[in-house]
Structure 1
Amino acid sequence: MPSAIVTGATGILGRQIVFELSRHAPQWPTVHALSRSKKEDYPDNVIHNHVDLTSSADDMASKMQNVRGDYIFFAAYLAKDSEKEAWDVNGAMLENFLTALTKTGAIADVKRIILVTGAKQYGVHLGVPKNPMLEDDPWLSGEEWPPNFYYNQQNILHKFCKEHGKEWVVTYPNDVIGFANGNFMNLSLALALYATITKELGQDLVFPGSPTFYTKFDCFTSTKLHAEFCAWAALEPRAANQAFNVVNGDTESWQNLWPKVAKYFGLRVKPDQFAPDTKGYATQAASRLRLSSTPAPLESSSVTLHEHPPISALAPQLGLRDHTLTQPSKVEQQIDLVKWAQRGEVREAWRRVAEREGLQEDVFEKATWGFLGFVLGRAFDLVIGMSKARKAGWVGYEDTWECLEGVFGELGERGLVPRVK
């Protein structure tokens, strides 16, 4: 029976891989969960190991003497302020970890290494990509592009596996929907907090992101589906030495999801949410809560992304040279969520809700409002193809709304937002 090693075991994707493997104890009798801290109560077949992946290979090896596995799931990630820092730190974590396996001799047991990355592979943080995004799209690795740490990690992995005769798999999830204790870079949590506070303020739910993106398309990844894919890809012969997109299988838009979010939290979508005059949104709360003065108008924002959107790399071949899509893309927020979260009436509303419902009050301070603003503010389509995985035999599918609804429920059960009755 195979055994596994999972790094980043308390992260939003790594945590779910641990629990997916542990659900199938007869197939995966031993799962080593590696992280700097333990935030979970693991099943009996999971062994937690305190390992700091930012330490040296020698330090890691000293803590991994009894850590052995047939399959490695590398889901560790460390956010950094600059692309160069992310390249250096995340590349070093992977390289030092692999070196540590050779120092302990554990590499002799390894059959396949699964590396978790993301759709940043396609430059979605830089602007309009080519749609649909496919695994054989060229890497944006010329001098005109900022460093992409996923490319560094994949090059490290490919070189290591070639030298040691091991197989590899790489996954590209996008806009992940899931939950992890203490992990606040979470689209679902920030979205639930936004809706909860909107309700407390007596307002209709307004989409804070790009009015353009509201009717465009996006593809999401359930952490549970991604974990199931990783378990499948570890053992599937046709998956060897391949990179795969891993998204739910449906293509969604916020024009479809937003009314469902509103209904779930007992709200309605503001009928004219994209009307130029937003004063009504600010005064609505004032009248319902009988405030002595009207809150200041809500601030919008617009940020221009990289001078070359990803699609420009393929524009001549696609017949799109000098097309408007090759102009710099924008992230637009009709309600700047970072500034919204700093407003006095917003913070006071959260304090009231947290006290009344017995919630973890510090959740609001730790929520990544900038991350949600970016996800909702990209004014372009993000369509990710699943044909390669389907041809290899993968049949997994998840309904994105059902996935989001399930995570909202879990957040309520854990006391991060009010339970929805």
Structure 2
Amino acid sequence: MPSAIVTGATGILGREIVSELGRSPQQWPTVHALSRSKKDEYPQNVVHNHIDLTSSAKEMAEQLKDVEGEYIFFAAYLAQDGEKEAADVNGAMLKNFLEALKINGADKKIKRVVLTTVTYPNDVIGVAKGNFMNLATSIGLYCAVSKELGNGDLVFPGSETFYTKFDCFTYSRLHASFNTWAALEPKASNQAFNVVNGDVESWQNLFPKLARKFGTKVKADMFASPPDKDAASIVQMAKRPPLADFAAERGLQDNKVLKQSAVEQRIDLIKWSQRDDVKAAWKKLAEREGLEHDAFEKATWGFLGFVLGRNFDLVISMSKARKAGWTGYVDSWDALSECLDELAEEKVLPKFE
């Protein structure tokens, strides 16, 4: 029976991979959950091991002296300001980790390594205890505090253009199931896959559902007036969009679809989160409902602003995975609603009626 090693075991993706493996002790009798700190209670087949993936291979080898597994799920990731920095830092972590296993001789048992940054997720919906860097937490806090402010109906803070365009999401639990499937599926060997829920959504559908869940409704004419220049922001993306590389062969050279994209926030969420009235509303709400006070400051407002502010469609195909035998599917609203309920249980958000 296979054994596993999961790095980044307390992160939004790694936590769910550990949970998925932990639910099947007969199939996965030993699971090593690796992280800097232990934030979860684990089932009996899961062993927590402390590791600092930013240390040297020699130092990691010492930390991993009692750790071995046939299947490695590398879910650790350290965000950086730039792509090159991210590649350098995360590439070094992976390289040193694998070298550490080699130093200990544990590499001889490895049958497959699954990289969560090759299993391509998009706009991840999930919950990790003590980790507020996720879409569900940030948008839930925005809705809760907006209601607390009492300034009227809920207003979409992102791009007016994107509000009626399409998006695809990845539920962290579906992603975990995909990873365990990919680890054992022969057709998945040495391949990269998109991993999204399988539906295509739009915020014009999701946002009213969010409003109703929080006991309010969407403002009927929220795009009627131009955005407040002091509250809004526009950030241009790459001057040369990725489609430009294929424009000629697709008959789109010099076409208007090749225009530069942007992140357009009618309400810049970083600015919004720093307003005195917003902070006061959160403090009042958190004290009244007994919520975790750190959640608001640690929420990733910049990430949420990016997700809601893009002014282009994101339609992502699961055809490659389907052809390889993957059948998983999750309704994106169901996933988001479940995560919001879990956040309420964790005292990050107020209880829903």
- Is 1:330 aligned to residue 330 of structure 2? no
CA distance in 2, matches of 1:380, 1:365: 29
The equivalent position to 1:377 in structure 2, one of 309, 333, 338, is: 309
Paired letter, 1:180: A
User: Which residue number in structure 2 is paired with residue 393 of structure 1?
Assistant: 325
Paired letter, 2:298: K
For the Cα contact (< 8 Å) 1:298–1:340, is it kept in 2? no
Greater shift, 329-338 or 237-246, is seen at 237-246
The equivalent position to 1:273 in structure 2, one of 198, 222, 233, is: 222
The equivalent position to 1:233 in structure 2, one of 169, 179, 182, is: 182
CA distance in 1, matches of 2:238, 2:74: 29
Q: What is the Cα deviation at residue 325 of structure 1? A: 2.1
Paired letter, 2:11: G
Paired letter, 1:373: G
The equivalent position to 1:263 in structure 2, one of 189, 204, 212, is: 212
Identity %: 64
User: Which residue number in structure 2 is paired with residue 145 of structure 1?
Assistant: none
CA distance in 2, matches of 1:103, 1:323: 54
CA distance in 2, matches of 1:91, 1:219: 27
How many residues matched?
A: 352
Instruction: For 1:266-415, list aligned pairs within 5 A.
Output: 266-276=215-225, 299-415=231-347
What per-residue deviation string (whole Å, max 9, x for no partner) do you get for residues 15-57 of structure 1?
A: 1000000001110010000111111111111111111111111
CA distance in 1, matches of 2:82, 2:328: 35
**Partner SS for 2:160:** coil
User: Which residue number in structure 2 is paired with residue 20 of structure 1?
Assistant: 20
CA distance in 2, matches of 1:74, 1:21: 14
For the Cα contact (< 8 Å) 2:227–2:266, is it kept in 1? no
Instruction: For 1:48-127, list aligned pairs within 5 A.
Output: 48-117=48-117
The equivalent position to 1:416 in structure 2, one of 339, 348, 353, is: 348
CA distance in 2, matches of 1:196, 1:106: 48
Q: What is the Cα deviation at residue 347 of structure 1? A: 0.7
Distance 1:277 1:309, change over 3 A: closer
User: Which residue number in structure 2 is paired with residue 171 of structure 1?
Assistant: 119
Distance 1:277 1:330, change over 3 A: closer
CA distance in 1, matches of 2:58, 2:295: 36
User: Which residue number in structure 2 is paired with residue 7 of structure 1?
Assistant: 7
Paired letter, 2:15: R
CA distance in 1, matches of 2:226, 2:331: 35
Paired letter, 2:256: T
Paired letter, 2:248: P
Paired letter, 2:51: V
Taking only aligned residues, the RMSD between alpha carbons, in angstroms, comes to 1.1
Paired letter, 2:207: W
The equivalent position to 2:168 in structure 1, one of 219, 240, 255, is: 219
CA distance in 2, matches of 1:411, 1:393: 33
Q: What is the Cα deviation at residue 327 of structure 1? A: 2.1
Q: What is the Cα deviation at residue 278 of structure 1? A: 5.9
What per-residue deviation string (whole Å, max 9, x for no partner) do you get for residues 60-86 of structure 1?
A: 011111111010000000011222211
Greater shift, 260-269 or 313-322, is seen at 313-322
CA distance in 2, matches of 1:241, 1:362: 41
Paired letter, 1:22: G
Q: What is the Cα deviation at residue 277 of structure 1? A: 5.0
TM-score w.r.t. length of structure 2 = 0.98
Distance 1:277 1:218, change over 3 A: closer
Q: Which runs of 5+ in 2 are unaligned?
A: none
CA distance in 1, matches of 2:125, 2:331: 11
TM-score w.r.t. length of structure 1 = 0.82
